[in-house]
Amino acid sequence: MAIGATSAEVGKSDPIITRLANEDKKWFFQKPNLLFLYLMLFPTCMGIELTSGFDSQMINALQIVPTWKEAFGPKEDPKIGPQGALKGIIAAAYSLGAILSLPMIPWVNDRFGRRASIFIGSTIMVVGALIQGFAQHVAMYIIARMILGFGIPTCIVSGSSLIGELAYPKERPILTSLFNVAYFVGQIVAAAVCFGTNSIPNQWAWRIPSLLQICPSLLQLCFVFFLPESPRWLITKDRSQEAFEILTKYHGETDRGVEFVQAEMAQMQATIRLELESSKKSWTDLFKTAGMRRRVLITTMLGLFTQWSGNTLISYYLVDLLDMIGFKDSVYVQKINVSIACWSLVCGVTVSLLVTKIRRRVMYLACTISLLCCYIAWTVSMQQAQTAKEAGHPNNAANIATLFFIYAYSPCYNMGYNALTYTYMVEIWPYAERSGGIAFFQLFGRLAGFFTTFVNPIGLHDVGWKYLISYCVWLAYEVVFVYFMFPETFGRTLEELAFLFEDKKLADQVVAAVEKVIHHDDQHDAPPGRHRDSLEKIGSVENKETAV
């Protein structure tokens, strides 16, 4: 492992809770309460990215629907549909709305909790989808998409945090990795819906898909309060007893349930207390120490990487890419749309199941290097295909090669930027700054998404295949940055990573709190009531130690 990536990783603590969790031999489906929790996480938290996936594929597919083109195309020739900057702003309005909402997300999350934040964001998206479906002109359509975008970051930040904070440590990396996989499910549904409505001879061909974007948000509104609140959020609100009961119910279904929950609770309390002692609960907390600034740098770059790695070309402008190499038939293009979405889902699920086996840095390096190789090959094949088309002699081999690299892009991207995105964000940010950190990631991801979705159609139109060279250069930079700057977070709980870049003494204090509980249980087989009492005593002792 590179020295540059590890020199500041001084605050990793002894993974006691991780070892206890790994000793548990029961599968999650053998634990009724935990199984119910995971089933509820899917329509609520996992289902959040359905909206983003549906949106990208819908805009992609509607660009070949004649009635959509006529509704928003220029008055002098509406059949050609929106062009250039107008096409870019229609696609980018979703990201622009998201950017506008980001400054208030940490406050909403910390004030109202994870569940209420999901409810608020979903309500906003329901309103946006209704306006989008009944839009009467292009300005109304763009505003509706901005409202949709305004609601989605609140749900994403809250949902990804809630998954990481509720899941049992053994399954937590897989569940947070599956969070982004719902994006591809949304793509498949949108591609299938648009394929089905493509033949409708009136404006309902585009209004139906636009209205159906309401469905994921309705799921979240219906199911979100079947979930418990985050135990960590409850601890910060002096509701530790409720947090303890939630952990006991969902994490205590093991042979060493009481002991494990006691140790987990002690770890959370000690870590959160140490975090909040120096936290002002403001955006300035993200920049106050060298460790925090490094987290911000990694988060900023990861936000840019997830959107500037060429994925928006495929997700928003596949129609233009295929048109450049001679594929114009709408039915054929719709079939490719659906097949790419299905292929991406298979890749995303497969990679997400490997996150407990392969280290984070290995996956990110494999992702960036393979993306660079894929894009270089894609650029070469695109050049051959477009040059042959312009000369009037189509190069079928180059066309097929271009299609192949478009499909090959998906497993390369999924290795890191899909499977690990929110897993990594939840891991590198401590609880006190987690909402702000993920919101910061969303900020740069949305800024990058807005920029690329706006610029991509202009670049493809003006310079053709040469536009892909810019992505090759950027991907080379990604490889270097990941190698030198990304820390390893594999195989530890969130609290064991809380002081990753800070003083080792802080991590040792948390370990001491856990060891007190473990040693107490080893020496005395105390009943549950006494365990709670001992936990409270530990908290008071730690407070005194910190004061000294």
Closest CA to 103 of 274, 246, 253, 283: 283
HSE-CB of 129 using CA atoms within 13 angstroms: 24
Which residue from 61, 90, 65, 73 is spatially nearest to 318, judged by alpha carbons?
61
Sign of the CA dihedral with 338 first, then 343, 344, and 348 last: positive
**Which tokens hold the place of 7?**
């020199």
Q: pLDDT tens, position by position, for the chain (548 residues)?
A: 444 455 456 666 678 888 888 888 889 999 999 999 999 999 999 889 899 889 888 887 888 888 998 999 887 777 778 887 888 889 889 989 999 999 899 999 989 999 999 999 999 999 999 999 999 999 999 999 999 999 999 999 999 999 999 999 999 999 999 998 888 899 889 888 988 888 888 999 999 999 999 999 999 999 999 999 999 999 999 999 999 999 999 999 988 788 899 999 999 999 999 888 877 677 788 898 899 999 999 999 999 999 999 998 888 788 888 888 888 777 788 788 788 889 999 999 999 999 999 999 999 999 999 999 999 999 999 999 999 988 888 899 999 999 999 999 999 999 999 889 999 999 999 998 999 999 999 999 989 988 988 888 889 888 889 999 999 999 999 999 999 999 999 988 888 888 888 877 888 888 888 888 876 655 554 444 444 444 444 444 334 333 32
Q: How wide is the angle at C-alpha 546 spanned by C-alphas 494 and 262, nearest 5°?
A: 45
Which pLDDT value is given to residue 13? 66
Tell me the DSSP string of 184-200: HHHHHHHHHHHHHHTT-
CA distances from 270 to 113, 168, 509 (A): 20, 19, 8
Contacts of 40 (CB under 8 A, 6+ apart): 223, 226, 227
Contacts of 131 (CB under 8 A, 6+ apart): 140, 143, 144, 147
For 393, which DSSP code?
A: -
Strand ranges, E, within 369-513: none
Report CA Rg, the chain: 24
Task: Characterise 157 by phi-psi region: left (phi > 0), alpha (psi -120 to 50), beta (else).
Answer: alpha
pLDDT of residue 526: 44
CA distance 156 to 522: 41
pTM across the whole model: 0.84
CA distance 128 to 430: 33
pLDDT at residue 10, as a whole number: 63
Residue 529: predicted pLDDT: 42
Return d(Cα 246, Cα 358) in angstroms, integer.
30
Nearest Cα neighbor of 160 from 129, 119, 114 is: 114
> 3-state DSSP helix/strand/coil percent for the chain, to nearest 5?
80, 0, 20
pLDDT of residue 11: 60
3-state SS, one letter per residue, for 32-99: HHHHHHHHHHHHHHHCHHHHHHHHHHHHHHHCCCHHHHHHHCCCCCHHHCCCHHHHHHHHHHHHHHHH
Nearest alpha-carbon partner for 154 in 186, 113, 108, 219: 108
For the stretch 242-245, contacts whose Cβ atoms lie closer than 8 Å and that sit 24 or more positions apart, written own/partner, are 243/268, 244/532, 244/535
Q: How many helices (H) and strands (E) does the chain have?
A: 25, 0
* pLDDT confidence of residue 120: 96
Give the pLDDT of residue 547.
Answer: 33
